[in-house]
Amino acid sequence: MSICPHCGGNACYEQAVTEEVTTSFCFGCGYSTSTLMTEGGELVNKTLEASPELYKDLMFTSEDSRVWFPATVTLPGKGMVFVDGNSKDDWKCAAVTSVEILEEEKAKFPKGQTTKMDMKNIKHFEKEDFMESLDAIKFFDIEVAEKDGGQNV
């Protein structure tokens, strides 16, 4: 764990994905980046094109010219954590848990899919409680190695 340049907390988790690429994910504020996310870089531009307005507003550039965004964490079959809101000044962390797809609904989903995100049971958390929103989807019950597979940077 290292210091997060965004929130100043010491819960920033770094992982070398390949020899060249390292990702960073802060458990405190939920921000993430990678060594490919450089200011003005191609990947940042692509991310901006694909991101909702709120994520663009919340973009953060650290001193080393890395571009950070709030992470969307998806745990297949368990739930999802994301940021939810209207603007930079009006947003919260949100967690939704997965529920079983009912027999009569199965036709609406891809074959073999057994759970869906239940938006009706969405829970909101304060900005600095990203970790609690992860806990709400039982994120800490699984191994670190699995976690990165579900992390959408």
Q: Which stretch binds Zn ion (CB under 5 A): 23-31, 84-92, 104-112, 114-122?
A: 23-31
Q: Kindly tell me which of 91 and 98 has the beta carbon lying closer to Zn ion.
A: 91
Indicate the length of the chain as a whole number: 153
Q: Which stretch binds Zn ion (CB under 5 A): 3-11, 72-80, 81-89, 128-136?
A: 3-11
Q: Kindly tell me which of 26 and 136 has the beta carbon lying closer to Zn ion.
A: 26
Q: Which stretch binds Zn ion (CB under 5 A): 22-30, 63-71, 104-112, 140-148?
A: 22-30
Among 7, 58, 75, 81, binds Zn ion (CB under 5 A): 7
Is there binding between residue 66 and Zn ion (CB under 5 A)? no
DSSP string, the chain: -B--TTT--S-EEEEESSSS-EEEEETTT-EEEETT-BTT-HHHHHHHHHS-HHHHHT-EE-TTSBEEEE-EEEETTTEEEEEEEEETTEEEEEEEEEEEPPGGGGGGS-TT--EEE-GGG-EEE-GGGHHHHHHHTTGGGS-HHHHGGGEE-
Count the site residues for Zn ion by CB under 5 A: 6
Is there binding between residue 6 and Zn ion (CB under 5 A)? yes
Q: Which two tokens stand for residue 17?
A: 């994905």
27-56 footprint of Zn ion as x/- string (CB under 5 A)? -xx---------------------------
Contacting residues toward Zn ion, per CB under 5 A: 4, 6-7, 26, 28-29
